[in-house]
Amino acid sequence: MNVNNVKIFIVIYNFYLYIIKMSSFFPLTKKFRATTFLNAFLLNSINVTLSTFIGYITHFYIQKNHNIADWITILITIIVTFTSCFLVHLIMFYLFAFGEGMLANKKEKKEYHIHNEMKKLKKRKTSLKK
Protein backbone atom coordinates (compact mmCIF):
# COMPACT_ATOMS: atom_id res chain seq x y z
CA MET A 1 0.00 0.00 0.00
CA ASN A 2 1.29 3.42 -0.94
CA VAL A 3 2.08 5.96 1.80
CA ASN A 4 -0.22 8.53 0.17
CA ASN A 5 -3.08 6.03 0.17
CA VAL A 6 -2.57 5.44 3.88
CA LYS A 7 -2.60 9.19 4.55
CA ILE A 8 -5.80 9.59 2.54
CA PHE A 9 -7.39 6.71 4.45
CA ILE A 10 -6.39 8.29 7.79
CA VAL A 11 -7.85 11.66 6.75
CA ILE A 12 -11.12 10.04 5.62
CA TYR A 13 -11.33 7.98 8.82
CA ASN A 14 -10.75 11.05 11.00
CA PHE A 15 -13.39 12.96 9.06
CA TYR A 16 -15.78 10.05 9.59
CA LEU A 17 -15.09 10.10 13.34
CA TYR A 18 -15.62 13.87 13.39
CA ILE A 19 -19.01 13.48 11.69
CA ILE A 20 -20.00 10.78 14.17
CA LYS A 21 -19.10 13.10 17.09
CA MET A 22 -20.97 16.01 15.48
CA SER A 23 -24.08 13.93 14.81
CA SER A 24 -25.27 14.58 18.36
CA PHE A 25 -25.83 18.23 17.34
CA PHE A 26 -28.02 17.32 14.38
CA PRO A 27 -30.68 18.09 13.34
CA LEU A 28 -29.96 21.74 13.88
CA THR A 29 -33.63 22.62 14.23
CA LYS A 30 -36.24 20.32 15.69
CA LYS A 31 -39.13 22.71 15.19
CA PHE A 32 -39.31 22.66 11.38
CA ARG A 33 -39.67 19.01 10.48
CA ALA A 34 -41.86 17.14 8.03
CA THR A 35 -44.56 16.42 10.59
CA THR A 36 -47.39 18.11 8.68
CA PHE A 37 -48.32 18.04 5.01
CA LEU A 38 -47.31 21.67 4.56
CA ASN A 39 -43.89 21.25 6.16
CA ALA A 40 -43.23 18.03 4.24
CA PHE A 41 -44.24 19.72 0.99
CA LEU A 42 -42.03 22.74 1.69
CA LEU A 43 -39.00 20.65 2.62
CA ASN A 44 -39.40 18.42 -0.42
CA SER A 45 -39.84 21.49 -2.62
CA ILE A 46 -36.58 22.93 -1.30
CA ASN A 47 -34.86 19.62 -1.99
CA VAL A 48 -36.15 19.31 -5.56
CA THR A 49 -35.60 22.99 -6.38
CA LEU A 50 -31.96 23.01 -5.27
CA SER A 51 -31.16 19.78 -7.10
CA THR A 52 -32.86 20.92 -10.31
CA PHE A 53 -31.23 24.34 -10.14
CA ILE A 54 -27.75 22.84 -9.80
CA GLY A 55 -28.43 20.51 -12.73
CA TYR A 56 -29.74 23.33 -14.90
CA ILE A 57 -26.82 25.64 -14.11
CA THR A 58 -24.38 22.82 -14.88
CA HIS A 59 -26.02 22.09 -18.22
CA PHE A 60 -26.19 25.78 -19.16
CA TYR A 61 -22.55 26.39 -18.17
CA ILE A 62 -21.27 23.42 -20.19
CA GLN A 63 -23.27 24.40 -23.28
CA LYS A 64 -22.20 28.03 -23.08
CA ASN A 65 -18.51 27.66 -22.28
CA HIS A 66 -17.44 24.30 -23.69
CA ASN A 67 -17.78 22.98 -27.20
CA ILE A 68 -18.43 19.29 -26.59
CA ALA A 69 -20.94 16.81 -27.95
CA ASP A 70 -24.54 16.98 -26.74
CA TRP A 71 -24.58 13.44 -25.39
CA ILE A 72 -21.51 14.16 -23.24
CA THR A 73 -23.19 17.32 -21.93
CA ILE A 74 -26.30 15.33 -21.04
CA LEU A 75 -24.24 12.60 -19.37
CA ILE A 76 -22.31 15.13 -17.29
CA THR A 77 -25.56 16.89 -16.36
CA ILE A 78 -27.15 13.61 -15.23
CA ILE A 79 -24.14 12.68 -13.10
CA VAL A 80 -23.89 16.15 -11.52
CA THR A 81 -27.65 16.32 -10.90
CA PHE A 82 -27.71 12.88 -9.26
CA THR A 83 -24.74 13.76 -7.06
CA SER A 84 -26.19 17.15 -6.13
CA CYS A 85 -29.54 15.54 -5.32
CA PHE A 86 -27.80 13.11 -2.99
CA LEU A 87 -25.78 15.87 -1.31
CA VAL A 88 -28.76 18.24 -0.97
CA HIS A 89 -30.80 15.44 0.56
CA LEU A 90 -27.95 14.65 2.96
CA ILE A 91 -27.68 18.31 3.99
CA MET A 92 -31.46 18.49 4.47
CA PHE A 93 -31.27 15.38 6.62
CA TYR A 94 -28.66 16.96 8.89
CA LEU A 95 -30.43 20.33 9.03
CA PHE A 96 -34.08 19.29 9.37
CA ALA A 97 -34.02 15.48 9.85
CA PHE A 98 -35.66 15.34 6.42
CA GLY A 99 -36.27 11.90 4.96
CA GLU A 100 -36.30 9.81 8.09
CA GLY A 101 -39.87 8.75 7.36
CA MET A 102 -38.85 7.24 4.01
CA LEU A 103 -37.55 4.06 5.60
CA ALA A 104 -39.57 0.90 5.12
CA ASN A 105 -39.83 -2.05 7.49
CA LYS A 106 -37.70 -5.02 6.55
CA LYS A 107 -40.31 -7.46 7.79
CA GLU A 108 -43.54 -6.85 5.96
CA LYS A 109 -46.55 -8.27 7.78
CA LYS A 110 -48.69 -8.59 4.69
CA GLU A 111 -48.60 -7.70 1.07
CA TYR A 112 -49.54 -4.11 0.38
CA HIS A 113 -52.22 -3.39 -2.21
CA ILE A 114 -53.54 0.06 -2.94
CA HIS A 115 -57.11 -1.16 -3.40
CA ASN A 116 -57.11 -2.60 0.15
CA GLU A 117 -56.02 0.76 1.51
CA MET A 118 -58.73 2.52 -0.53
CA LYS A 119 -61.34 0.15 0.90
CA LYS A 120 -60.18 0.96 4.43
CA LEU A 121 -60.37 4.68 3.66
CA LYS A 122 -63.94 4.35 2.32
CA LYS A 123 -64.97 2.39 5.42
CA ARG A 124 -63.59 5.13 7.64
CA LYS A 125 -65.45 7.82 5.70
CA THR A 126 -68.75 5.95 5.90
CA SER A 127 -68.31 5.25 9.61
CA LEU A 128 -67.63 8.95 10.24
CA LYS A 129 -70.81 9.98 8.38
CA LYS A 130 -72.98 7.76 10.58
Local mean pLDDT, 10-residue blocks, the chain (130 residues): 70 72 64 78 90 93 91 93 90 80 63 62 68
- List helix spans (H) across 1-130: 3-22, 37-65, 70-96, 114-129
* φ, ψ for residue 105, nearest 5 deg: -70, 140
pLDDT at 38: 85
What is the chain's Cα-based Rg? Answer: 22
pLDDT at 13: 77
pLDDT at 39: 81
pLDDT at 43: 86
pLDDT at 14: 75
> Would you call 98 helix, strand, or coil by DSSP?
coil
User: Burial level of 89, CB count in 10 A (0-12/13-18/19+)?
Assistant: middle
pLDDT at 124: 72
